[in-house]
Amino acid sequence: MNGAQSLIRTLVDAGVDVCFSNPGTSEMHFVAALDSVPEMRGVLGLFEGVVTGAADGYARMADRPAATLLHLGPGMGNGLANLHNARRAHTPMVNVIGDHATYHKKYDAPLESDIDALAGWLNGWVRRSEHSADVGADAAAAVAAAMDTPGKIATLVLPADVSWGDGGQACEPVPPRAPRQVNETTVKAIAELLRGGEQVALLIGERACRETGLRATSRIAAATGAKPFVETFPSRLERGAGLPSIERLGYLAEQVTYQLDGIKHLIVAGTKAPVSFFAYPGKPSDLVPEGTQVHVLAELDEDVPGALDDLAALVAPDTEPVLQEASRPAVPSGQLTPQNWVDVIGALLPENAIIADEANTSGLLLPSATAGAPRHDVLTLTGGAIGYGIPVATGAAVAAPGRPVINLQSDGSALYTISALWTQARENLDVTTVLLNNRAYAILRLELQRVGAESSGPKANQLLDLSGPDMDFVKISEGLGVPATRATTAEELADQFARAVAEPGPHLIDAIVPPLF
Amino acid sequence: MNGAQSLIRTLVDAGVDVCFSNPGTSEMHFVAALDSVPEMRGVLGLFEGVVTGAADGYARMADRPAATLLHLGPGMGNGLANLHNARRAHTPMVNVIGDHATYHKKYDAPLESDIDALAGWLNGWVRRSEHSADVGADAAAAVAAAMDTPGKIATLVLPADVSWGDGGQACEPVPPRAPRQVNETTVKAIAELLRGGEQVALLIGERACRETGLRATSRIAAATGAKPFVETFPSRLERGAGLPSIERLGYLAEQVTYQLDGIKHLIVAGTKAPVSFFAYPGKPSDLVPEGTQVHVLAELDEDVPGALDDLAALVAPDTEPVLQEASRPAVPSGQLTPQNWVDVIGALLPENAIIADEANTSGLLLPSATAGAPRHDVLTLTGGAIGYGIPVATGAAVAAPGRPVINLQSDGSALYTISALWTQARENLDVTTVLLNNRAYAILRLELQRVGAESSGPKANQLLDLSGPDMDFVKISEGLGVPATRATTAEELADQFARAVAEPGPHLIDAIVPPLF
């Protein structure tokens, strides 16, 4: 057994049986070893940002890591933006980065670079396998590190000779560290606070955005009058009819200021107190209102849903959660607008859907339109690095083959990782991409005003404009093997969306929606 | 004048008047400032790898840096692969990386990351502007650092508040450091060696691959019998009828071994002694044959063409260079093959063309087919990070608006940075992309065998196969605004190539060429 074979065997034994891959020469022994471990599924991406984004989407839905296979430093570089998003999502992931053979590095061959510097950038777990005999143990440690609470990105650098060398030993899985239990004193103190009669808000994040945490949060809110909020960009939010519907904190500082107005105590569980996404001249970065005290119920490395359950048992023992009733908007009619397209989705969202949401400005009204739709998961852009939607939808579909995946995708962001469509076609994944084509970096038009830039002359505006030429996403999608249609009216979108969802395999709808701004 | 305005003013005064840009919120003041400095041209890329690749292509042709504008760490991450290629090409470049406002960084907002770690990865020049009043001086220093010998990548990190703050001061250009002159003793010693009667090879790189260096090299070879070679992947090689035609060292170790067989002394000028691109089990990494002595005529920070001229004056005072005669292959006929498509290019290459070559395996026979074509420049993949061709062609066309740019582009590499086609359409650049569509990572099929991988079963082969679905580059190109046609025969390619070159603006030809391997 060579190093590569021991690596794949160990990964599979630890439950990591999908490897999103974009290999090169230094990874050829890993590629060859795939045939020796039948349980490992290799999924090809034509760009590393597709690979890392897919691994992110996969793990958000599977609750266990996928592996990635990337080619040296430049390959890892191409994957960094979606690794950044995955880091912010606390996604478990195991990157295998091929490197030159140990003895080859000193020659500074063209692809030589400091891989460790890039891996370190992710603030996760990094190890460089030095001997073929160690690769199995390194892989087992990597999976355990990835499965920590919260999830982490584990990066294993695999020199080519360590990969091809003999003496590999597959290793037993290493149990990941259990989450810390929240201190009882803390829960009691927060319970006292909730009973104190002052205006309280409860902000939840991470694992608390699943059913258990949402129900506990809803009970606490109902029993105490605390205002509940979900963090702005949850990695995975369960919602829809039959679940508590809890408002997300806004992206814009102005929204958050409004949402937290009058709050004396802000309790956070599994997330941080809100800060502005960007700095703006003369505006605060810290969005906690003046005079509001922040209290931490549970840190990210703790059992956050457990803490919420404990708190609910104290302050809301007999209170039921408030559940969202089933309710859908009517299918609208007329030209598509930023206001009406979301109602098409709300009206027609299939049962048990997964929404990969990178609609950005076009999606401002999406949450209310889909609140009473059948139960679904929403994956959001946790790290702000655009180009995440198509890959994440791809990975989510690999993880959840029985569930329809809906990718709501803005045009400006789509081009970063567009080739993920090809992977969807190749793997025949059930993904419907609604491409919100407003022909602009609309969010930047808004931001240009919000940062108080003095002038916004023709050259500045030109840099935020995606028309000239208009992109034809029907052609791009068909060119990548995904059947596509164009919708300019709500009726067309409704018709095309219903058909796309009904048919197996990937589809794309180029929805011409004017910019909100 | 704010920091951003002083930055752009200083760049323009130092001759940097093109900024390839993919901005975000933290760069909005830079974007707004573009309108205050009319000489600066902003060129939008829809992905940062397009931006950095275009800046590379621009500088290779303009011999002065372009600026890039990138959005925080993830934006720089997306640009790293083509920055790696640019670093290996010794391309001068000035990156402006927007960062959060200085006071905002401590909040660890979603897009926060260690930009300095990424910038440091490039082994170039890095500075973080701390005050608006310093930005001008920092920019002038960045341009000087980029224009060093050899060229370097200079990265200026620009926090948002430093960008928008008042008190910016435009600065005078700082003269770059002059190249070191080669020691006369070294030149004389090499001259002695050349007169010594032993078999000598002369390997040139970097600036020596332009006319001056090529002529001197040819004279030296003609007068002394030394075998001349150009480095494997020159950043810019001048060639064609009327110039010396000097063979490039091969990519494969096997080729180099053959080329250097029997050589006792290897003289290098502006490059390094050859090493294997990758390591292969049981094969040497160092490609200098056993018993061959390496002698350095000129290091990269020296005046390499000057050293060759000095050497030629000593050993070949009365010898003329051997110039390539004009000669073109006939236009071939029949189904396209890896053997015949290059003859179409050789037969029809327009005068004064720039070839951005990322044909990879499909282009193995290109050099001989184009050797006697009209004089042209060839830009090659210096760093091995694929996805460089379309962006580099884009930047070269911006730098040389009067010259036809021919991008020979393999399919596997094209998808990494395909949206550069949109920038070509937007800027109406005269680029003809010949997309060599062999529906495989053909080079990896070869490499899978070369690394001696034990098995290559169906799963391994599947990861190197780009059919299923076949990509339709006509549709992809049209979707991005570039008119496209498909060629399956040599006659079709010839017809379409001639028309594409004759018409202004970008074109793409999807050339269906079976894999070489």
pLDDT band at B345 (very low <50, low <70, confident <90, very high): very high
Dump pLDDT digits (tens) for B366-422. Answer: 999 999 999 999 999 999 999 999 999 999 999 999 999 999 999 999 999 999 999
| Chain A residues lying within 8 Å of B107, measured CB to CB | 275-276, 285-286
Contact A409, A385 (CB under 8 A): no
Q: Which position has the higher pLDDT, B355 or A362?
A: B355
Hey, is the C-beta of B46 within 8 angstroms of any chain A C-beta?
A: yes
Sign of CA dihedral B379, B385, B386, B389: negative
Residue A65: alpha-carbon gap to chain centroid: 13
β pairing state of A431-437 and B431-437:
unpaired
| Chain B residues lying within 8 Å of A385, measured CB to CB | 74-75, 77-78, 111
Across chain B, mean pLDDT equals 96
Helix, strand, or coil (residue B380)? coil
d(CA B87, CA B151): 8
Strand partners, B485: B509
Residues 353-382 of A with CB under 8 A from B: 382
d(CA A501, CA B502): 46
Hey, is the C-beta of B111 within 8 angstroms of any chain A C-beta?
A: yes
Q: What are phi and psi of B52, to 5 degrees?
A: -70, -35
d(CA A220, CA A215): 9
Mark yes or no for CB contact B418/A422 under 8 Å. Answer: no
Contact B220, B308 (CB under 8 A): yes
DSSP B506: -
Hey, is the C-beta of A47 within 8 angstroms of any chain B C-beta?
A: yes
| Chain A residues lying within 8 Å of B120, measured CB to CB | 117
Spatial CB neighbours of B5, under 8 Å, sequence gap ≥ 6: B33, B36, B37, B168, B170
pLDDT of A456 > 80? The answer is no
Dump pLDDT digits (tens) for B261-312. Answer: 999 999 999 999 999 999 999 899 999 999 999 999 999 999 999 999 999 9
ipTM value: 0.97
Q: Quick one: closest CA in A to B70, which residue?
A: A385
Q: What is the mean pLDDT of residues B355-376?
A: 95
pLDDT band at A476 (very low <50, low <70, confident <90, very high): very high
Q: Which long-range contacts (CB under 8 A, 24 or more apart) does A464-467 make?
A: A464/A440, A464/B31, A465/A439, A465/A440, A465/A441, A466/A411, A466/A412, A466/A438, A466/A439, A466/A440, A466/A441, A466/B46, A467/A439, A467/A440
Task: Kindly report which listed range (A111-115, A313-317, A486-490, B462-466) carries the lowest average pLDDT score.
Answer: B462-466
* H helix and E strand count, chain B: 20, 17
β pairing state of B237-239 and B376-379:
antiparallel
Q: Specify the pLDDT at position B228.
A: 98
Hey, is the C-beta of A234 within 8 angstroms of any chain B C-beta?
A: no
By the 10 Å C-beta count (0-12 exposed, 13-18 middle, 19+ buried), B504 is classed as: exposed
Q: Quick one: closest CA in A to B466, which residue?
A: A46
Hey, is the C-beta of A278 within 8 angstroms of any chain B C-beta?
A: yes
**Which amino acid is present at B449?**
Q
* Interface test mutation site (partner A, options B113, B271, B361, B380, max chain A beta carbons within 10 A): B113
Spatial CB neighbours of B467, under 8 Å, sequence gap ≥ 6: B439, B440
pLDDT of A299 > 80? The answer is yes
| Chain B residues lying within 8 Å of A28, measured CB to CB | 444, 447-448, 451, 453
Hey, is the C-beta of A466 within 8 angstroms of any chain B C-beta?
A: yes
Owner of token pair 């935020």: A464
pTM here is: 0.98
pLDDT of B67 > 70? The answer is yes
Hey, is the C-beta of B481 within 8 angstroms of any chain A C-beta?
A: yes
- The closest CB to that of B444, out of A25, A80, A84, belongs to A25
Mark yes or no for CB contact B418/A418 under 8 Å. Answer: yes
Q: What is the mean pLDDT of residues A369-380?
A: 98
pLDDT band at B194 (very low <50, low <70, confident <90, very high): very high
d(CA B190, CA B227): 14
Q: Specify the pLDDT at position B443.
A: 83
Task: Kindly report which listed range (A1-15, A444-458, B230-244) carries the lowest average pLDDT score.
Answer: A444-458
- Report the candidate in A508, A351, A359 with the shortest Cα–Cα distance to residue A424: A508
Q: What's B423-459 look like in SS3?
A: HHHHCCCCEEEEEEECCECHHHHHHHHHCCCCCCCHH
Q: Which helix (H) or strand (E) holds A204?
A: strand A200-204
d(CA A219, CA A122): 37
Instruction: Pick left, alpha or beta for residue B344 (phi over 0 → left; psi -120 to 50 → alpha; otherwise beta).
Output: alpha
Q: What is the mean pLDDT of residues A236-256?
A: 96
Instruction: Pick left, alpha or beta for residue B282 (phi over 0 → left; psi -120 to 50 → alpha; otherwise beta).
Output: left
Contact B158, B139 (CB under 8 A): no
d(CA A106, CA B285): 10
pLDDT of A517 > 80? The answer is no
pLDDT band at A450 (very low <50, low <70, confident <90, very high): confident
Can you give the C-alpha Rg of chain A in angstroms?
24
Dump pLDDT digits (tens) for A420-446. Answer: 999 999 999 999 999 999 988 888 888
Report CA-CA distances (Å) from A120 to A136, A142, B114, B116.
22, 14, 10, 12
Hey, is the C-beta of A472 within 8 angstroms of any chain B C-beta?
A: yes
Hey, is the C-beta of A426 within 8 angstroms of any chain B C-beta?
A: yes
Across chain A, mean pLDDT equals 96
Hey, is the C-beta of A388 within 8 angstroms of any chain B C-beta?
A: no
d(CA A316, CA A313): 6
Hey, is the C-beta of B80 within 8 angstroms of any chain A C-beta?
A: yes
- What's the residue count for chain A? 517
Cα distance between the two ends of chain A: 59
Sign of CA dihedral B82, B84, B86, B92: positive
d(CA A203, CA A228): 6
Mark yes or no for CB contact B73/A466 under 8 Å. Answer: no
Mark yes or no for CB contact B32/A453 under 8 Å. Answer: yes
Spatial CB neighbours of B503, under 8 Å, sequence gap ≥ 6: none
Q: Quick one: closest CA in A to B121, which residue?
A: A114
What DSSP string runs through B454-483?
S---HHHHHTTB--SSPP-HHHHHHHTT--
d(CA A180, CA A303): 6
Owner of token pair 């930055």: B7
Contact A55, A392 (CB under 8 A): no
**Which amino acid is present at B70?**
L
Hey, is the C-beta of B456 within 8 angstroms of any chain A C-beta?
A: yes
Q: Specify the pLDDT at position B444.
A: 85
The secondary structure of chain A in percent helix, strand, coil, rounded to multiples of 5, reads 40, 20, 40
* Interface test mutation site (partner A, options B20, B40, B70, B278, max chain A beta carbons within 10 A): B278
Q: Quick one: closest CA in B to A282, which residue?
A: B161
Instruction: Pick left, alpha or beta for residue A406 (phi over 0 → left; psi -120 to 50 → alpha; otherwise beta).
Output: beta
d(CA B389, CA A25): 20
Q: How many CB atoms lie within 10 A of CB A479?
A: 28
Contact B437, B491 (CB under 8 A): no
Report CA-CA distances (Å) from B283 to A260, A453, B280.
66, 59, 5
Mark yes or no for CB contact B28/A448 under 8 Å. Answer: yes
Q: Specify the pLDDT at position A452.
A: 77
Please give the torsion angle defined by the CA atoms of residues A410, A413, A416 and A420, in that order, rounded to the nearest 10 degrees.
-30
Which ranges of A199-283 does DSSP label H, i.e. alpha helix? 211-224, 253-259
Hey, is the C-beta of A212 within 8 angstroms of any chain B C-beta?
A: no
* H helix and E strand count, chain A: 20, 17
**Which amino acid is present at A398?**
V
Q: Which segments within A318-389 are labelled E, that is strand?
A: 354-358, 376-379
- CB contacts < 8 A, A to B, total 321
pLDDT of A221 > 70? The answer is yes
Mark yes or no for CB contact A387/B29 under 8 Å. Answer: no
Hey, is the C-beta of B467 within 8 angstroms of any chain A C-beta?
A: no
Mark yes or no for CB contact A272/B471 under 8 Å. Answer: no
- The closest CB to that of A111, out of B23, B383, B479, belongs to B383
What DSSP string runs through A485-510?
EEE-BHHHHHHHHHHHHHSSS-EEEE
Q: Specify the pLDDT at position A454.
A: 58
Q: Specify the pLDDT at position A197.
A: 92
- What's the residue count for chain B? 517
pLDDT band at B331 (very low <50, low <70, confident <90, very high): very high
- The closest CB to that of A109, out of B121, B161, B276, belongs to B276
- Report the candidate in A47, A54, A53 with the shortest Cα–Cα distance to residue A18: A54
Contact A391, A47 (CB under 8 A): no
Mark yes or no for CB contact B463/A277 under 8 Å. Answer: no
- Report the candidate in B48, B31, B418 with the shortest Cα–Cα distance to residue A462: B31
Q: What is the mean pLDDT of residues A267-278?
A: 97
